[in-house]
Structure 1
Amino acid sequence: MPMHPAAPEDLSGLVDAYTQTAQALVDLAFPCSDPDFDKPTECPGWTVKDQISHIVSAEAALMGRPDPQVDVPDYPHLGTTLNRAIENGVELRRSCPGREVVEELQTVVARRLGQLKDLRDNEPEDLDEVTVDMPMGPKPLLEALRLRVNDLWCHEQDIRAALGRPGNLDSLAAATFCQTVMDALPMIVVKRAGVPTGRVVMVELTGPVVARTGVRVEEGEDGSPHGSLMFTGGVDETGPIPVIGKTTSIQMSTEAFTRRAAGRRATSDLHYSVHGDDEVARRVLDGLVITP
């Protein structure tokens, strides 16, 4: 079953996805009051203003304007070196008024949109060889842009949840995030959830992004379990799905799926339905997180 809307794969589509979610962030931030800026979000340790500060910092760095380094306290939510590095831009702006950070966001987003649209209009012939310096190291351009779309949309949803303004769950960026998680399902099912050979795990999103995928766990050449995505056009796509008792199907909304994949909600806090092994479903959802 194809995803609807489909996740963009080319430069033009990813620029469109970026544009939509970046503009949504500006639209959400602009009318915020001081109490709004101070509202906690589902991203541990961050307020609405902190979310905006992070986006400003990340996008400015990609334009070649990294923030100066400041001392970052040992906050409880800083569990990794990467998280501490990301916190620098947030800490730098903690004493700044929210309106000031929003103005910075508007400026940075406008420049980034101009940069990306120029890149789209003058797409390099050697696109596959173009790389972008990211916090986790150099990445091919399309992969880097996909990562930025995912990050922007994830934080857009953090802000929406905090402000009580749901939306954009059927956008190109939402589909990009969902596709990224589904592409990671073989690893999640086998490595994290430990689903044994001979089993199948199906995941169905009921909307607004609608999709269905599955992972068939087979024995690899080295004898260890190997996960294969189903419904991808591969030669095994029409192969039989194991009988009842060996298939676990998980149904959930786009919002529940993506909030769990972002690490914002615990499995116990999700609304989902299962046909099959409840314990397998729980282990898969426990391992679903793809964010650092």
Structure 2
Amino acid sequence: MAMHPPAPQQLSELVDAWARTAQNVLDLASTCSDADFALPTTCEGWSVKDHIAHVAGLEASLDGHVDPDVDVPDYPWLRHKMGRFMEQAVEVRRSWSGAEVVAELQRVIPRRLETLRDPSLTDETPLTGPFGQRPARALVTNRTMDVWCHEQDLRDALGRPGDLDSPAAAVFLQAVLGALPRQAVEAGLPVGTAVIVESTGPLQAREGVRIVPGTADDAPVAEPRFSGSADEAHDSSHEQVTTIRLSTEALARAGAGRVSVDDLHYTVEGDEDVARRLLAALAVTP
């Protein structure tokens, strides 16, 4: 995968990426008025305050805090068990003021950093995650992706774009582009199809995938095809190459499942239907 600037690789760099995006969420939240807290977002059912509550509540739980039990109503945006689980912390805090939610996040970030910057941590050190213990590297990567995604939700709702070329942005886009083989299969792309997805900036990234026959009677499978060079894409006369270009912001919003293909700004060289089908299956978030 070609990416510039590259995603962080060391655990300490991943922790720094988490710290930066968490601080950005806190900085945005600290400037919100009551009217800002109530603004709707592209995450169905959640206001600006709800996103802050989600980040604060989840990080607090990882720090050992236990929320009181609450009954979560059957909201129309809850479509699976994970969504209902994530809603619990938000539901607990719906009666809180925006200032109270911000204060919790302000308290919990230093405590989480104290844990995550423990010099004895290794990539494989088990840490408490939302669904049980996970290796430190996997957990910090997941938390960086999640917090940065919600940072972008806040920026979108508040009209304050930014942080699109940060280490956390690179972590998120690396996950989106790394999932292209799975997404291409989910999109039902035909055998012989090759696709390049390119982030044009401010974070520049490129990845390719191709659809190949499965073994025996198995369904077609997808595999990483090339680093993104169009010359590499044409080394097989059986491949139909489609190139999709979109900004970092557009790719991230599609990867977060926050925008429909009809509302997404992108350009295509090749098969428009292939592009639309892949973009519709691009989300890596639940």
User: TM range, normalised to the smaller chain?
Assistant: over 0.9
Residue 19 of structure 1 is matched in structure 2 by: 19
Shift of 1:290: 1.0
Correspondence list, 1:261-272, <5 A: 261-272=255-266
Which SS does the other structure have where 1:123 is aligned? coil
Structure 1 consecutive aligned stretches of length 4 or more whose deviation exceeds 4 Å? 237-240
Paired with 2:184 and 2:22, the residues of 1 have a C-alpha distance of 32
Shift of 1:244: 9.2
Paired with 1:145 and 1:14, the residues of 2 have a C-alpha distance of 7
Shift of 1:228: 1.6
Residue 169 of structure 1 is matched in structure 2 by: 164
Which amino acid is 1:265 matched to? Answer: V
RMSD over aligned CA atoms reads 2.0
Deviations 1:21-68, CA, capped at 9 Å, x for gaps: 011111111111110111111111111111111011110111121312
Paired with 2:161 and 2:131, the residues of 1 have a C-alpha distance of 30
Shift of 1:82: 1.2
Any stretches of 5+ residues in structure 1 without a counterpart?
A: none
Deviates more, 1:59-68 or 1:242-251: 242-251
| Preserved CA contact (<8 Å) 2:233 2:241 | no
Deviations 1:154-207, CA, capped at 9 Å, x for gaps: 0000001111100000000000000001111001112x1111222201101101
Residue 69 of structure 1 is matched in structure 2 by: 69
Paired with 1:131 and 1:241, the residues of 2 have a C-alpha distance of 44
Which amino acid is 1:210 matched to? Answer: Q
Aligned length: 283
Paired with 1:276 and 1:232, the residues of 2 have a C-alpha distance of 18
Paired with 1:141 and 1:51, the residues of 2 have a C-alpha distance of 24
Measured at CA, do residues 218 and 280 of structure 1 come closer, stay the same or move farther in structure 2, by a change above 3 Å? Answer: same
Shift of 1:8: 1.4
Residue 248 of structure 2 is matched in structure 1 by: 254
Shift of 1:105: 0.7
Deviations 1:229-254, CA, capped at 9 Å, x for gaps: 13469xxx968544597111100001
What TM-score results when the alignment is normalised by the length of structure 2? 0.93
Which amino acid is 1:214 matched to? Answer: G
Paired with 1:245 and 1:277, the residues of 2 have a C-alpha distance of 12
Paired with 1:139 and 1:110, the residues of 2 have a C-alpha distance of 21
Q: Percent identity?
A: 50
| Preserved CA contact (<8 Å) 2:52 2:101 | yes
Deviations 1:252-285, CA, capped at 9 Å, x for gaps: 0011111011111101100000111111111000
Which SS does the other structure have where 2:205 is aligned? strand
2:147 paired with 1:152? yes
Which amino acid is 1:156 matched to? Answer: E
| Preserved CA contact (<8 Å) 1:169 1:255 | yes
Which amino acid is 1:42 matched to? Answer: T
Residue 209 of structure 1 is matched in structure 2 by: 203
